[in-house]
Structure 1
Amino acid sequence: MTEINSLGAQTTVSPQVAKAAMTGELLRLLQAQPGMLPPGENAEAEVVSLRQVGPDFQLLLRLTQANGNQTQVLANASQPLAPGSQIIVSQPDSNRLAVMVQLGNAGNIATLTQVDTRQVPVGTLLQGKVLTSQALPATVGEPVSFRSLVSLLNSPQAGATLVIDSPRRLPLGSLLSAMVQGDQSLRFVPLSGRQDQLAVTQHLSTQQAQQASLTGVLSTLQRIASAPDAGLELRASAERLLASLPEARQLGDAKNLAQALNDSGTFLEAKLFGGQASGIAADLKAQLIRLVAQALPNPSGQAALAAHPALASAPQVLAHALPGLARSALGMLGQVSPRPQPSAFPLPSRLLQKLESEGDLQQLLRLAAAAISRLQSHSLSSLQQSGTLDNGNQQTTWQTEIPVRHGQEFIPLQVKLQREETPEQQAEREREQHDPLEALWRIELAFDLSPLGPLQVQAQLAKGRLSGQLWAQHEQTARLIDSQLGALRERLLARGLDVGDLECHPGTPPQGPRTRLEQRWVDENA
């Protein structure tokens, strides 16, 4: 399965279509449709979707009759027809559809046996989803071969279907990633075992369309915590969440900083998956989901609380209830907004406006669910930016957001940590014989601190040598920071670090081309 033919599109009739044309019968309706087509009348049909069920294939067809009426029907077939295929059908009886395909319509069959390198240049990373997989008739003395239909998910030919022969059966629904080579072949790239990049990017786009800044929900919680008419349980949860957030001075201690990162919500799923439910009481995302459960006006959240009165103090019950509660809350959000670059950092500020006739609980529900989506966006961005780089090094990313108490306000601090290791360094770390400083570390910070305004920090630590750059959107702040860089250098040297360049610039970091993992998964059919 290392190559397929290249250049151009299929122009001959595919074997399954030829068989259908000869027999006049290919499809069996899953449910009898008596009288769907009058005797002697034909209808145009388009294959909307294709699914393999054992040795047979299930098709969803959209039929268009001569009078313009459209009907969707399910049918079984012994041979696959690719999505987008255009066919002409008639109805000999209530259980069958007869298929007639003329040579003039053969070009409408949306299957490719070749890749047009004019549309898909050399070096393009193609992604596809396996729709079907069949064993080809065996030939004496020849190895067994399998033929698959693969739906392309990206490139200008997205939506088309490739016919691929391979020496092994491709799992149905699996994702393929292949690089177009200079010799007009495809080199298949194995997907990382740690993540499904298609699902990550798909969910990331959804979360980013629903997310909003943490500032809104924290301000609402401050009002609820001091409101005497708020429910006792809701007010207690609000007070507990606000009290769990660190103060700015506490983050100067390494242990406190590590604890704040651990409770930021990024590691909630990992804790639950690892059976560490007892350690999620102070987790920010877990507390927000608990608030959503208490604020839900529909029976799902209230039923969960009624069934488990000790939800706030029983982490194992909370762990069990989290997925359903999160789905209920996030499903209520219908926010539509421009989608930022999936791996962009920092996430842009976004506040939800209060709707007319909206009560405090409804507003809290929207804000809390949007905050959960924001934390989820950070987690998915971490997954998207983790993997093997083109040079073979392993990159791991941790991206999160920590609300920091600053006086009576809460300042969201966005953090991105990246570790890049060579294969040798990775092997040493797995054997626990490594020095953490041997790896290349990058850190990015973004926050808006009054009166300094928005600030961003990018630093790099390589073999004990630290260098960094700062950006301040207010020019006056940039001049102030620049005047203090000498003192910062002295403090870093006193900590035993070898300090390289330290610079401060007005404005924001450039957003030009950067070294990133090649990940452009978009599945419109999943």
Structure 2
Amino acid sequence: MTRTSDNHIQLQLAPPRNDNGAQLKLQEGLQQILRDNLPQQLPAGDALNQMRQIPAISRPGGDAVAQVIKSMLSLFSVPPKTDAKTTQQVVQNHLQSSGLISQPRANPAASQRELPPLQQQLGKLTDLADQLPPQAREQMLTLVKGLQARSASHQATSLQNWQEMPDGSLERQYRLDLPIRLERDRLEDSEIHIQQRKKPDEEGRFVSQWSIQLHFDREELGPVDAHVSLQQEWQLSARFWAEREETTRLIREQLDGFQQQLGASGFEVEALQVQRGKPPRDTRSPVNHRLVDLHT
């Protein structure tokens, strides 16, 4: 702040100084988290599938464990065909469990923040594991640790790619699992990568651009990738790639209906395209290359 005359001062806001030392320590800490957790991590679908197959949970004493696992299936997975509201709630549960977004409180006056949904369920399983026979207990605790390591790996990978600039622009990324329930509630692993870019427009107003990348590999369809971008809140475009000709044809046949559904939901669809092959570059997650990447 500088005084320019008796009645005037000049105020200039200086951008925050970039503490390279603190940034380096943060990156080193995130790398250590990944080194510690990547070898132990289990994708959510794999872990839940294995939990449900532990014989002891179907016997007396294991009923409570089975109920918690059933609750986790409801909270953190979706059926292959589901409504947008259900998917939105499941993704919200995952994001809240990541600790990277705030969790709304049922009671604003509460003095203590509730644990995220995933940590609540894993804590219950850890406590209930004592009721299981020794071998089943060890299996359960190993799977719980695998899920905890998976969550920590996703958090560290997400935070590595966060950037916030002095002018207010930013880039944030979120990684999370979204298991898909198939026949008999068998889960197929999917991973979502959500990306937000917030930059000033021509008038200086900050607007967000979201992108989604999805990859899955089903036996009946083969590898399929989808890239979706969302601008100005409602302007949507999407491109699909499939390695099999019959899958490419199947997706193309569904595009008109898909566009109508998007329009009915209020989206302005700019382009929907499908082509055979692979996307131009591999953007799958370094945490797990097996299934889904979502940038939003």
Q: TM-score, normalised by structure 2?
A: 0.68
What CA distance in whole angstroms lies between the structure 2 residues aligned with 1:509 and 1:269? 31
Q: 1:217 aligns with which of 29, 47, 67?
A: 47
Moved over 6 A (4+): 389-392
What CA distance in whole angstroms lies between the structure 2 residues aligned with 1:248 and 1:389? 39
* 8 A contact 1:458–1:470 mirrored in 2: yes
Letter in 1 for 2:171: Q
Q: Establish whether residue 452 from structure 1 lines up as the match of residue 221 from structure 2.
A: yes
- Secondary structure at the aligned position of 1:196 is classed as helix
* 8 A contact 1:387–1:395 mirrored in 2: yes
What CA distance in whole angstroms lies between the structure 2 residues aligned with 1:470 and 1:496? 21
Change (3 A) 1:251 1:385: farther
- Secondary structure at the aligned position of 1:378 is classed as helix
Aligned position for 1:51: none
Aligned position for 1:372: 148
Q: Per-residue deviation at 1:460?
A: 0.8
Q: Per-residue deviation at 1:266?
A: 5.2
What CA distance in whole angstroms lies between the structure 2 residues aligned with 1:502 and 1:291? 44
Aligned position for 2:188: 411
Aligned position for 2:279: 509
Aligned position for 2:5: none
Aligned position for 1:284: 118
Higher relative contact order (CA 8 A, sep 6+): 2
- Over residues 135-155 of structure 1, what are the superposed CA-to-partner deviations in whole Å (9 max), with x where a residue is unaligned? xxxxxxxxxxxxxxxxxxxxx
- Secondary structure at the aligned position of 1:209 is classed as coil
* 8 A contact 1:444–1:456 mirrored in 2: yes
What CA distance in whole angstroms lies between the structure 1 residues aligned with 2:36 and 2:252? 40
* 8 A contact 2:221–2:247 mirrored in 1: yes
Aligned position for 1:399: 175
What CA distance in whole angstroms lies between the structure 1 residues aligned with 2:255 and 2:154? 30
Aligned position for 1:71: none
Aligned position for 2:31: 201
Q: Per-residue deviation at 1:441?
A: 1.1
Higher-Rg structure is 1
Q: Establish whether residue 252 from structure 1 lines up as the match of residue 83 from structure 2.
A: yes
Change (3 A) 1:363 1:513: closer
Q: TM-score, normalised by structure 1?
A: 0.41
Q: Establish whether residue 476 from structure 1 lines up as the match of residue 246 from structure 2.
A: yes
Q: Which moved more, 1:377-386 or 1:196-205?
A: 196-205
Letter in 2 for 1:360: A
**Paired residues for 1:6-405 under 5 Å:** 176=20, 191=23, 196-224=26-54, 227-228=58-59, 231-248=62-79, 251-254=82-85, 256-264=86-94, 267-269=97-99, 277-278=113-114, 280=116, 283-295=117-129, 359-388=135-164, 393-405=169-181
What CA distance in whole angstroms lies between the structure 1 residues aligned with 2:114 and 2:219? 37
Q: Per-residue deviation at 1:491?
A: 2.9
Q: Per-residue deviation at 1:217?
A: 1.9
Aligned position for 1:142: none
**Paired residues for 1:421-436 under 5 Å:** 421-422=198-199
Change (3 A) 1:502 1:284: same
What value does the CA root-mean-square deviation take over the aligned residues?
A: 4.0
Q: Per-residue deviation at 1:512?
A: 6.1
- Secondary structure at the aligned position of 1:375 is classed as helix
What CA distance in whole angstroms lies between the structure 2 residues aligned with 1:243 and 1:417? 22
* 8 A contact 1:392–1:422 mirrored in 2: yes
- Over residues 43-86 of structure 1, what are the superposed CA-to-partner deviations in whole Å (9 max), with x where a residue is unaligned? xxxxxxxxxxxxxxxxxxxxxxxxxxxxxxxxxxxxxxxxxxxx
Taking only the aligned residue pairs, the percentage that are identical comes to 24
Q: 1:420 aligns with which of 197, 203, 219?
A: 197
More strand by percentage: 1
What CA distance in whole angstroms lies between the structure 2 residues aligned with 1:367 and 1:360? 11
What CA distance in whole angstroms lies between the structure 2 residues aligned with 1:457 and 1:513? 11
What CA distance in whole angstroms lies between the structure 1 residues aligned with 2:38 and 2:217? 20
Q: Per-residue deviation at 1:218?
A: 1.5
Change (3 A) 1:381 1:473: farther
What CA distance in whole angstroms lies between the structure 2 residues aligned with 1:513 and 1:443? 11
What CA distance in whole angstroms lies between the structure 1 residues aligned with 2:95 and 2:264? 33
- Secondary structure at the aligned position of 2:226 is classed as strand
- Secondary structure at the aligned position of 1:267 is classed as helix
Q: Per-residue deviation at 1:470?
A: 1.9
Q: Per-residue deviation at 1:459?
A: 0.8
Q: Structure 2: which 5+ residue stretches go unaligned?
A: 1-18, 106-110, 285-296
- Over residues 338-369 of structure 1, what are the superposed CA-to-partner deviations in whole Å (9 max), with x where a residue is unaligned? xxxxxxxxxxxxxxxxxxxx933333322332
Q: Per-residue deviation at 1:265?
A: 6.0
Q: Per-residue deviation at 1:392?
A: 7.6
* 8 A contact 2:76–2:93 mirrored in 1: no
* 8 A contact 2:78–2:178 mirrored in 1: no
* 8 A contact 2:75–2:93 mirrored in 1: no
Letter in 1 for 2:279: P
Q: 1:440 aligns with which of 209, 218, 233?
A: 209
Aligned position for 1:81: none
Change (3 A) 1:378 1:473: farther
More helix by percentage: 2
* 8 A contact 1:493–1:499 mirrored in 2: yes
What CA distance in whole angstroms lies between the structure 2 residues aligned with 1:507 and 1:360? 44
Q: How many residue pairs are counted as aligned between the two chains? A: 255
* 8 A contact 1:444–1:459 mirrored in 2: yes
What CA distance in whole angstroms lies between the structure 1 residues aligned with 2:68 and 2:166? 47
- Secondary structure at the aligned position of 2:189 is classed as strand
Q: Establish whether residue 462 from structure 1 lines up as the match of residue 292 from structure 2.
A: no
What CA distance in whole angstroms lies between the structure 1 residues aligned with 2:243 and 2:112? 41
What CA distance in whole angstroms lies between the structure 2 residues aligned with 1:213 and 1:513? 18
Change (3 A) 1:369 1:448: farther
* 8 A contact 1:216–1:367 mirrored in 2: no
Q: Per-residue deviation at 1:442?
A: 0.8
Letter in 2 for 1:176: N
* 8 A contact 2:46–2:189 mirrored in 1: no
Q: 2:257 aligns with which of 487, 490, 496?
A: 487
Letter in 2 for 1:219: N
